[in-house]
Structure 1
């Protein structure tokens, strides 16, 4: 491929241009999006994981719930467009309404506002098979075409990995930082490092690490059992220079509350306090 073919325009280049050719790295940086005229968002926090299955959406739900309980005004953008599950956890359903300003988000029982593709589908199990550019466009619309109102914290539940959506959020949303989610396995820790390193490369602050499924506590003897091995949160946080970390247990009550659409009833304040302190 010759040099002309290798060049990418600002509209088509969507990766970390610091590692790209000079013609690409010299392109203009995408302008940060602003919410619509009916919205005022104080802080935007992304929740990220390098791989799926570690509980990123759960962590998003729990952080949002604890902030709401503390009297903050909270919204959630479900940026996992092709695998959305935020509405299910809160028992929120569509269809959504709209006005001249934009789309009105759904609300949980406690008033957490949320937007998700699953709130727009006729059936919640309908597949969303969209290509990367379309998904990235939806993320932009979720931010600046939704009537968020007055929001203290907008949490962005990312899809796993470091592909188009993560780059769109890092480049176009006014992020105040991210929280990354891991599990007590070296493989997961290594993949978390990829997301953390990308954040550093793109000048996005990493606020904290949540190690999910860190242990199971027996109901009778209250002994902690480390099903997936000894917790690694402290070591991983130190390795990647992450300011604070927290651990969450394997708790059957969590699954029951998610299935019932009542996740905000779960008390995660003490477990997530190190993360909540940094965010606030």
Structure 2
């Protein structure tokens, strides 16, 4: 049995010759996000035969619920070529890894923390954070979002939660809001429309820590943090006091935005937070009248910066009027128009983010096991 299989508890009840054929077929199916076969990726947990029906259980390390049907169809077509198998009965589940850090205490009920950041404002970072969180939930994960933009909180408006006010039932923690199946917290829930948080940097950083640690979060697989732009006190507080699993950097193809995005990537590298990838916003515009595709802010900026820093380009999103309008109405496109092309792009990005976190965790486990053997 391969070393990959030994890392997870498996229940294989097939006779050796058939088991070998089934494992070979399953490992030949390369998961498009993990880049590994289903066996090498530790996805296969149970194999049993009931007559000529193969009973199989798959457990994914990243959320990809919308892809289950295609996966099952692809492997079933191959498995059915074996004489011993006429049909396949498949159960699929999702189990994310728990982030562990020797330097920072975990957040109760939260398995993974992902920062969504940008070097400068106005590149669509909050729009990306909200739609990414919603897309991750659509893929089967339990998700929360924290609005860390203390000076310009926008999550309440974007999620249609302008009337929500946190309450405390125990005098120690406060409730989170809920919208479209996603838990949310923001300093904006505690300010009126015309109030501003007039605080110095350390005070804002302290407010972030309080929002994060004193919120009664439900059980979450992923908590997305919508960061303020820049590389100041709040970013440093995040790196020092929060067990961040990775960061997503948002930019536009414009040179000035790319220059600031590079600074953001460099900052995360310095504080040892892995950059999971780049999202390029306002990548192109398609004319609603003639269908012509324009690139008002330049081309290939996101891919060039991703290549330079050896990180994935997670996706490129269009400059689109209804995307902006949906956020202003508190009904993000990911949920308002789930069948739209843009919603599909966000789900693709969500799957890539989840897969990057899973790969990162598996690599760290390999590193730890090697050290222990020595």
Matched-pair contact (CA < 8 Å) for 1:55–1:181? yes
Stretch deviating more after TM superposition (241-250 or 111-120): 241-250
Residue equivalent to 1:22: none
* Match status 1:34 vs 2:103: no
| In structure 2, C-alpha distance between the alignment counterparts of 1:143 and 1:63, rounded to whole Å | 19
Which position in structure 1 is the counterpart of 2:167?
A: 97
Q: Deviations over 1:222-267 (max 9, x none)?
A: 2211111223111110011112331111111012111111114244
- Where 1:233 maps in the other structure, the secondary structure is helix
- The answer to whether residue 139 in structure 2 is matched with residue 74 in structure 1 is no
Secondary structure, aligned partner of 1:98? coil
Q: Check if 1:258 corresponds to 2:332.
A: no
Does residue 299 of structure 2 align to residue 230 of structure 1?
yes
Question: 2:241 matched to 1:172?
Answer: yes
Q: Is the 8 A contact 1:244 1:274 kept in 2?
A: no
Query: 1:183 and 1:248 mapped to 2: Cα distance?
Result: 9
Return 5+ residue gaps in structure 1 as ranges: 1-29
Q: State the match for 2:177 in structure 1.
A: 106
Q: Measure the CA separation in 2 of the matches of 1:33 and 1:158.
A: 20
SS at 1:104 equivalent: coil
In our comparison, the structure showing a higher alpha carbon Rg is 2
- Deviation sequence 1:68-120 (CA, Å, 0-9, x none): 11221111110001100011001013221111151001111x12111111101
Aligned residues: 246
Distance 1:53 1:266 in 2: 24
Q: Using the alignment, how far apart are the partners of 1:133 and 1:275 within structure 2?
A: 33
Q: Is the 8 A contact 1:237 1:245 kept in 2?
A: no
Calculate the TM-score normalised by the size of structure 1.
0.83
The answer as to whether partners of 1:244 and 1:278 remain within 8 angstroms in 2 is no
Structure 1, residues 50-74: CA drift from partner, whole Å, max 9, x if none?
A: 0111011010011011011122111
Unmatched runs of 5 consecutive residues or more in structure 2: 1-101, 355-374
Matches within 5 A, 1:125-140: 125-140=194-209
- Confirm or deny: 8 A CA contact 2:337 2:343 kept in the other structure: no
Cα distance in 2 for residues equivalent to 1:266 and 1:230:
27
Q: Is 1:212–1:248's contact at 8 Å kept on the other side of the alignment?
A: yes
Structure-1 residue corresponding to 2:26:
none
Q: CA deviation at 1:125?
A: 2.7
Q: Aligned partners of 2:337 and 2:297: how far apart in 1?
A: 23
Cα distance between partner residues in 1 of 2:205 and 2:226:
14
Contact 1:33 1:144 in 2 (8 A): no
2:344 pairs with 1:270:
yes
Q: Which residue of 2 aligns with 1:279?
A: 353
TM-score under structure 2 length normalisation: 0.63
Structure 1: how far apart are the matches of 2:285 and 2:300? Answer: 11
